Structure 1
Amino acid sequence: MKINEPSRVGNVNPYRKTAAGSQASAASRASRKDEVQISTEAKELLGSVRNSEKLDELKKAVSTGTYHVDAKQVAEKLWPYLK
């Protein structure tokens, strides 16, 4: 490998720059508070987890025989489709 311009690399120490920058950023991080942002996808997943828990409860109630259907509510929901 041949380097044509060795002076380009020169006296640059990238670690020295980041050390000074990290001290300043550490001070700014100490003064600000933590934040949490939840994405819409995560909120949807949380909703689906809650729905699956409710579904599991319904399955358990049906399998044990403790789930009862209110005939009046079923009739009210079916009535618009039968008109």
Structure 2
Amino acid sequence: MKINEPGRLSSIQAYRAGLQAKEAKAAAGKGAQKDNVVISAEAKELLEAQRVGGTERAERVEALKQSVQAGTYHISAERLAEKLLPYLK
């Protein structure tokens, strides 16, 4: 009766080595691919509008801050009520 067959063990080791080599090759092939990003024309326009409008908005915010700190900023009660009413309904 044979308990261990030396030939069988070497066959299994050769199979495992071949399998590992195949997996490594597949992983290397996947790593070579790169992601691509395509930005639409609409997105480019929005980005440009944000860049242009950003400085104007910053200037407006700064002017509002100064008028609030100076106490010269006044809010129309009617306009405020018109804006709040939709949230209360």
The TM-score, its normalising length taken from structure 1, stands at: 0.49
Structure possessing the higher radius of gyration over alpha carbons: 2
TM-score w.r.t. length of structure 2: 0.46
